[in-house]
Amino acid sequence: MADTSAKARIDELREQLNLHNYRYHVLDSPLIGDSDYDAMLVELRQLESFNPDLVTPDSPTQRVGAAPSPEFHEVQHPQPMLSLGNAFNDDDLLAWHTRAAGLLEVDSFAMVCEPKIDGLAIALTYENGKLLRGATRGDGLRGEDVTPNVRTISSVPLALQSGQKLPARIEVRGEVYMPRDAFAQLNEARTERGEQLIANPRNGAAGSLRQLDPNITAQRRLDVWIYALGWTEGGTTPDTHTDVMAWLRDLGFRVNPELRRVESLQGVTDYHTEWSESRFHKNYQTDGVVIKIDRLDYQRHLGIVGREPRWATAFKFPAEQAITKLLAIKINVGRTGALNPYAELEPVQVSGVTIQNATLHNEQDISRKDIREGDYVIIERAGEVIPRVVGPVLDRRDPESVPFEMPSECPSCGTPVIHEEGEAAHRCVNSRCPAQQYERIRHFVSKAAMDIEGLGEKLVAVLLEQEFIADFPDIYKLTEDQLAGMERMGEKSAANLVSAIKQSKARPLAAVIAALGIFHVGGETAELLARRFGSVHRLMDTTEDELQAIPGIGPIVAQSIVEHYQNEGNRLIVTELAQAGVTLEAEVSPETDTPQPFVGMRFVVTGRLDGFTRSETEGFIKERGGQVTGSVSKKTSYVVVGEEPGSKADDAQRLEIPSLTEAALRALAEDSQMGEEQA
């Protein structure tokens, strides 16, 4: 007989999980993150295993997903669409493998690994090779008929490949998802219309597929990966999952090329490790790796327990998104005086990293998303690197919360803040603001600028606090005796730092220009300026007209450069850097007469080239007036493809962007140049 405390906790967990399951699957509006949901489900399973008499058919552990929406026709699945058990670590994975091996009475077995796509499960039924029906998983037994919407997805075949021996009827299962770039475009459009942003690509896919109007679904780019055969009527099928997937691919279904057969658990963990690192570079969101036993007779022998197959499991990644409380909106003052708001959060795990702060961009972004102090907010790692606030969970908002307003004074120096019309940022105009000094020097010594190894953020702060430095030139006046006398800085460390400072004097001109902190001048613009002028002194005396004549430099950047050197303090810094021995001239004379055949063109470089290094390829393009970007978009002119290219080559093919080999790139430069000369 179960004790009353266990029953009370089980009832509480079921109530909470049912609520969150409904919010996630039906309303597409989660209140908690995946990791919190998984933790509650694990606890409920453990309690039910110790109290089997309390297990009921309506428990969240005994069903998959949520009931279908009453707005769609109900579909009875001929065979249940199962859920997967989860392995959260190596011990969980080993336990699953050991149980399966014991039931099969074998020591090991081959498995198939593939990425677990974070989308919406779908069952596609074909009759005589024609698409008959598309249905969502629903609760695993009954789903929703979304056939008109499924037909709008271009990667779902309306007819199977002719020439193949087809069963009379066949059902395949897969995952409908929204690509990352399509999700970003959807949210940009919603922002322009003043609509609430969608939390993640999974919700975007679910909401799009479950639109009552198929025309709306058609406007939102969805895609599908087929991951399993559901059932067939007539004909024979292969004996392993690997062969089944190859067969389905031949029939015309989109099967993920990342599917891999492995012989041992080590192969599984290697695959999981690879995907933990590479998943962020794919155009689809994943939340784990699915592992299946390859032999279908083994699968049939193992069967299912509850609604989960014994022959498969999901080896989950740490959550990419989480929900936590926004404790305060703080302000950071940047090197140009811009006031940058950021979120101070209750610590939360996202993608295996503890997040306590996240970017909020600017006041307009905060207002558009209606983010307030005290809100529970959805956090994700943008590019899975920089944490950002996606938006608030409005249902958990304190009714007494108030909208955020930017401060009227600089939080660092107290100077009144200005907000010029047309600019997103509020600014502190005090050039001696301590926060700006710190950020400017931190940028100056960074790897992308003067690359002074050993002079990190903390040491910069200490040197400013102790008034050893106040601006860039002071760095070159530091001595070993000064540094060795500082806390945690011994003689060897001091000597190494002074040596690194001396080495930085010979940095390339483009790096020096980038280091100087000119507003709107980043690395690429600095390279254009270095090639055009060949000297910081020549750059200081240029005009806006001369600057705007350089391809890639517009009126805003030109004005910023001229205004920077109208400030006598900035001119004095250049003089003092020259006196300190910093190289302010290019090693070769400026190439003002270099032909510019690539003006107005955008290039992306991917893969390994034989005749060029990556930096040489990019330099070749830039010297001829082209721009080099890191990702492929519709604005890309060409993608330069070498050996073993990455996903950028696939992006180019998908967007129909022309690809060039190394030889073709050279030929394009010569042909374009010849065309200019003839003109």
Each residue of 45-96: pLDDT tens digit?
889 888 888 887 667 776 555 555 556 788 889 888 988 988 988 999 999 9
Looking at the DSSP assignment, which residues form a beta bridge with residue 602?
627
Query: Minimal CA–CA distance to 445: which of 503, 521, 491, 385?
Result: 503
Query: What gap in Å lies between CA 12 and CA 2, rounded to an integer?
Result: 15
Highest-confidence segment of 17-21, 213-217, 446-450, 650-654: 446-450
**pLDDT band, very low/low/confident/very high, at 677 (cuts 50, 70, 90):** very low
- Class of CATH domain 74-316: alpha beta
Q: What tokens appear for 471 in the block?
A: 């601006």
What amino acid occupies position 37? Answer: Y
**pLDDT band, very low/low/confident/very high, at 675 (cuts 50, 70, 90):** very low
Is residue 674 scored above 60 in pLDDT? Answer: no
**pLDDT band, very low/low/confident/very high, at 134 (cuts 50, 70, 90):** very high
For 265-280, what is the mean pLDDT? 90
Encode pLDDT of 444-461 as tens digits: 999 889 999 999 888 999
Tell me how crowded residue 358 is: count the other CB atoms within 10 A of its CB.
23
Q: Which of 116, 292, 316, 648 is catalytic?
A: 116
| Residue 660 · residue 668 · CB < 8 Å | yes
What ranges do the domains of the chain cover? 4-62, 74-316, 321-398+405-413, 434-579, 602-678
Residue 1 CA from chain centroid, whole number: 50
| Residue 120 · residue 134 · CB < 8 Å | no
Encode pLDDT of 506-537 as tens digits: 999 999 999 998 988 888 788 889 888 899 99
Query: What gap in Å lies between CA 313 and CA 316, rounded to an integer?
Result: 9
Query: What gap in Å lies between CA 558 and CA 476, rounded to an integer?
Result: 29
pTM beyond 0.75: the answer is no
For 312-325, what is the mean pLDDT? 87
Q: Is 116 a catalytic residue?
A: yes
Q: Specify the CATH number for 4-62; select among 1.10.287.610, 3.90.1150.10, 3.40.50.300, 2.60.40.10.
A: 1.10.287.610
Encode pLDDT of 336-368 as tens digits: 888 999 999 999 877 657 889 998 888 888 998
Q: Which fold has domain 321-398+405-413?
A: OB fold (Dihydrolipoamide Acetyltransferase, E2P) (2.40.50)
Query: Minimal CA–CA distance to 371: which of 353, 359, 354, 385?
Result: 359
What phi and psi, each to the nearest 5 degrees, are found at residue 559? -65, -40
| Residue 427 · residue 419 · CB < 8 Å | yes
Long-range contacts of 192-195 (CB under 8 A, 24+ apart): 194/368
Q: Specify the CATH number for 602-678; select among 3.30.710.10, 3.40.50.10190, 3.40.50.970, 3.90.1170.50.
A: 3.40.50.10190
**pLDDT band, very low/low/confident/very high, at 627 (cuts 50, 70, 90):** confident
Among residues of the chain, what percentage have pLDDT more than 70? 91
Highest-confidence segment of 3-7, 480-484, 632-636: 480-484
Query: What gap in Å lies between CA 30 and CA 22, rounded to an integer?
Result: 9
- Class of CATH domain 434-579: mainly alpha
Q: Exposed, middle or buried, 121 (CB in 10 Å: 0-12/13-18/19+)?
A: buried
Query: What gap in Å lies between CA 639 and CA 671, rounded to an integer?
Result: 17
**pLDDT band, very low/low/confident/very high, at 644 (cuts 50, 70, 90):** confident
